[in-house]
Amino acid sequence: MLAKRASLAELAGEQWDLIVIGGGITGAGVLLEAARQGRKALLLEQQDFAWGTSSRSSKMVHGGLRYIAQGEVRLTRDALRERERLLRDLPGLVERAQYLFPLRDGRFPGRWPMTAVLSLYDFLAGIRDHRFVPRAQVLMRVPGLDTAGLNGAMSYTDALTDDCRLVVRCLLEAARHGGRSLNYARATAIRTENGRTENGRARVDVTDLESGDSLTLNAGAVINATGAWANRLGGAGQRIRPLRGSHLFVDPARLPVADCLTLINPRDDRPVFVFPWEGVTCIGTTDLDHGDSLDQEARASGAEVDYLLELINGQFPKVNLGREDILSTMAGVRPVIASGDGKDPSKERRDHAVWEENGVVTVSGGKLTTFRLIALDALCAAGLLGPREARRARRSNAPLFRPLPDAPEQVDQFLHGVQDDEALLRWVLSHEAVVHLDDLLLRRTRLGLLRRDGGAGLAERLRALTGELLGWDAARWEQEWARYEEIRERFYGVPPADRDRAAA
C-alpha cells in the first residue's frame, strides 16, 4: 500500500528499471502496468497525485460520441472496450450512467442520424442499450427542460467515475505489485549521454519539496508522463496545446437531474454535460486555450461561468440559476496534441502521442478512459515491453484490479454519500499518502467541493483525525486549514461576472 508518504532518502541507492515522472492517470497507469510486468518502478509527482488534469476532468469513462463524427472510430472503439473493462473491474468506482440527448426541430443531429451513430457506438462496445425516448417521457425525466421544438431524446449509456480516486486506486494496485510512488517530489533534470549514461542508466535529479532534500536516482528508463507539462522534460516543443475545461458544482435543490444530459450550446454548437455526481449537479465543460501559468492551479474564469449559466438558463428557462447557487468551480488543463493549424479547440484530436528524445520517452494527450492502452504504448517505446507482449496485453481480458485487503468498501465507491464516512477518512489518512489538508478535502475526498461551507462543519472532527493518524499538532492544523481555505477560495471559488462575456 502507499501508506504514509515515504521520504526521498528511503529511495536512494535503489536501482530502478523505470522512473515515471507525473502522477496523473497516465503516469499511474504506466506505473501499474510496469509493476504488473515485474519491473522495479518508481513514480514521482511534483505536486499531489492527480493534482493536475486527473482530478479536474468531466468524470466520464466514455467512448466519445463526437469522436465518431470526427472520424476517430478506432479511438472510440478502444475507449468503449476499456470502458467495459473498468465497469467490470471497478464496480462502484466506475458506474454505468444513463445519458439523454434532447432532439429539437430544426437542430442537427436529428433522430435518425443519432440512431445511426448510437448503433455504431453500441456495436463497438459490444452492447445494445440506445433507444428513442418520446417527448412526454423526456419531460417526466427532466422536469423544467425547455419544451420549445422538443420532440424527444435519444437515450444511451456511458459511465462516470471519481477521476482522482481512480488514479489513487491505480497507485494502490501498483504498490501491491511492488511499484513505489512519491508525491511532492520534483524531477528537476534528466541526464543522459547518447540516450543513456555510461553505465546504461539515466540519472534523474529530484528535490523533495517537503523536506528540501535533493538527490540523484538511477534508472534504466525514464517515462515523462506529465501531461500539459510535458515540454519541460521531454522536448515537446509546440506539440502540446493546453486547453482549459471548467465545471460548476451546483446545489441539486436548484437543478435536480437524474440522468446525464448532453446539451448543445447554441452559442457555439458545443456539447455541455449536466449530470448528478456525488450528490450535487455538475455542469461542464468549456474548451478554450489556457494561457495562464501552469505552475499554479487552473481556475474557471468569470466568462466561463457566464457561458455555462447562460446555457442552463436557456435550456431550463424557469430555473434562473445564478452564482449564489454554485457550490464551487473546478478547472483542468487538457494536454491535447496540437494539430498546428490553429483550429477550434473543440475540433482538436483527442488521441495520445508517444515520442523519444535524448533517451527520455514522453507520452501525452489521450483520454482518461484509455489510460491502460496509453501505458502499454509508453512501455513499448521505452523498451520495457516487446511488441508481441504489448499486443497480448491489449487483448488480455484479465482483471486489472483486485479487491484491496482490509480496505473499507467505500474505497471503491462513489456517488453514495460516503465522502465523510469515518472508515473512509481513516483509510485515506492511513494509506493514501496525504501530505496536506487540500490533498484530503479536494482530491482523496471531494468534501471541499461538495459542501457549501467547504468542509468547515467537519473541522473539529478532521483536526482530531489528522492529529491521531498524521501526528499534526495544533500549530500544524492551523497552518493547514489556512492553506486549504486560501486554495479553495482562489482556485475553486466562484469568480465575478465577466463584463466582456467572452466565448468559452
Tens-of-pLDDT digits for all 504 residues of the chain?
A: 677 788 888 888 889 999 999 999 999 999 999 999 999 999 999 999 999 999 999 999 999 888 887 788 999 999 999 999 999 999 999 999 999 999 999 888 899 999 999 999 999 999 999 999 999 999 999 999 999 999 999 999 999 999 999 999 999 999 999 999 999 999 999 988 765 544 568 999 999 999 999 999 999 999 999 998 888 776 555 688 899 999 999 999 999 999 999 999 888 989 999 999 999 999 999 999 998 998 899 999 999 999 999 999 999 999 999 999 999 999 999 998 877 666 677 767 668 899 998 889 999 999 999 999 999 999 999 999 999 999 999 999 999 999 888 888 888 887 676 788 899 999 999 999 999 999 999 999 999 999 999 999 999 999 999 999 999 999 999 999 999 999 999 999 999 987 544 445
CB-based burial label for 79 (10 Å; 0-12, 13-18, 19+): buried
Cβ neighbours, 10 Å, residue 69: 12
Query: For residue 312, what are the CA distances in angstroms to 160, 172, 299, 387, 501?
Result: 21, 38, 20, 48, 16
Q: Strand 352-357 and strand 360-365: pairing?
A: antiparallel
Distance CA 209, CA 435 (A): 11
Q: Which pLDDT score is estimated for 370? A: 96
Distance CA 385, CA 20 (A): 15
User: How many residues comprise the chain?
Assistant: 504
Q: What is the dihedral of CA 137, 143, 146, 147, to 10 degrees?
A: 40
Residue 156 phi/psi, 5-degree rounding, is: -155, 175
| Residue 352, strand partner residues | 365
Cβ atoms of residues 458 and 447 within 8 Å: yes
Residues 288-323 as b/e (b if ≥16 CB within 10 A, e otherwise) read bebeeebeebbbbbbbbbbbbbbbbeebbeebebee
* Domains and their CATH numbers in the chain: 8-54+164-239+347-395 (3.50.50.60), 96-160+240-337 (3.30.9.10), 409-492 (no CATH)
Distance CA 426, CA 440 (A): 11
How many helices (H) and strands (E) the chain has is answered by 15, 18
Cβ atoms of residues 438 and 483 within 8 Å: yes
Angle CA(92)–CA(95)–CA(101) in degrees, nearest 5? Answer: 160
Distance CA 203, CA 189 (A): 8
Which residues have a Cβ under 8 Å from the Cβ of 478 and sit 6 or more positions away?
A: none
CB-based burial label for 167 (10 Å; 0-12, 13-18, 19+): buried
Q: Which pLDDT score is estimated for 417? A: 67
Which residues have a Cβ under 8 Å from the Cβ of 164 and sit 6 or more positions away?
A: 49, 50, 54, 55, 443, 444, 446
Closest CA to 248 of 191, 177, 321, 183: 321
Q: Which DSSP symbol is given to 116? A: H
Which cell is 34 given? 510496469
- Which ranges of 90-162 would DSSP assign to H, the alpha helix? 111-125, 135-141
What does the H/E/C string look like for 163-187?
Answer: HHHHHHHHHHHHHHCCCEEECCEEE
Which cell is 270 given? 458545443
pTM metric for this prediction: 0.95
Residue 366 phi/psi, 5-degree rounding, is: 90, -175
Which cell is 200 given? 546504461
Q: Which pLDDT score is estimated for 22? A: 97
Distance in angstroms between the alpha carbons of the first and the last residue of the chain: 41
Distance of CA 402 to the CA centre of its chain: 21
